[in-house]
Amino acid sequence: MPDTDLDFQDAALAAEGDSGAFERLYRRHVTRIYGLARRMAGPDDADELTQDAFVRAWQKIAQFRGEAAFGSWLYRVAISVILGHRRRLAIHRERTAPEEWNREGQPSHERSSEIGMDFETAIERLPARARHVFVLHDVEGYKHHEIGRMLKITAGTSKSQLHRARMLLRATLA
């Protein structure tokens, strides 16, 4: 059976309260959700956000109606959890100056120079807005109008933030 069919079956069981079925969904999707969380929010918060995303998905799974693939639905849930986390953090942390590399979530042991820096690390160090748009557009394949809705920005802002992220990331290509 293809994974999408297995997903539908397990999602229906999970909606009935079957946590075993939900664990199978977790196993099939955790790597992608974790990758999303790590790139969007940094490695320090990725574990917790991945867990938050799956807990939220469990709570909302009765709302999954199977119009889209379960993976796409789960992605939306995860993105809203990750962005919500970002908004909560913003209350407690000082805002990063817009033109600076983002230092949030940067592991202290990784102080590599920008040239030759690991591409993943370079993504983590992008300013938050540019990083979110870049990950959602160039890594995950969302369109600007979709990103605009998720981030509550215009499609035009999404485009300019994407360009900014790409321009900053050129420095790591050496």
Partner 1 sequence: MSDSTDTWRDRLSDYLDGALEDSERSELEEHLEGCEECRETLVELRQVVARAGSLVDAPPARDLWPGIAYRIRETEEGERRGKSFTFSVPQLAAAAVTLVALSSGIAWQIASGFSARQAEPAVSVAQAPAQTGLLLASRIASHDYESAIAQLERVLDVGRERLDTATVRKVEEKLALIDRAIDEARQALSADPSNAYLNQYLAGTMRRKLDLLRRTAALTEL
- Contact positions toward partner 1, by CB under 8 A? 17, 19, 22-23, 26-27, 30-32, 34-35, 39, 46-47, 50-51, 54-55, 58-59, 119-120, 134, 138-139, 159-160, 162-163, 166-167, 169-170, 173
Give the residue from 26, 125, 126, 137 showing the smallest Cα distance to 79. 137
For the CB of residue 132, give the shortest distance to partner 1 in the complex, in Å.
13
For the CB of residue 119, give the shortest distance to partner 1 in the complex, in Å.
5
For the CB of residue 22, give the shortest distance to partner 1 in the complex, in Å.
7
Q: Which is nearer to partner 1, 48 or 90 (CB)?
A: 48
Distances 120 to 49, 61, 93, 103, 154 between C-alpha atoms, Å? 18, 31, 23, 14, 26
Sign, Cα dihedral of 135, 148, 69, 46: positive
For the CB of residue 26, give the shortest distance to partner 1 in the complex, in Å.
6
**Are residues 140 and 83 in contact, defined by beta-carbon separation less than 8 angstroms?**
no
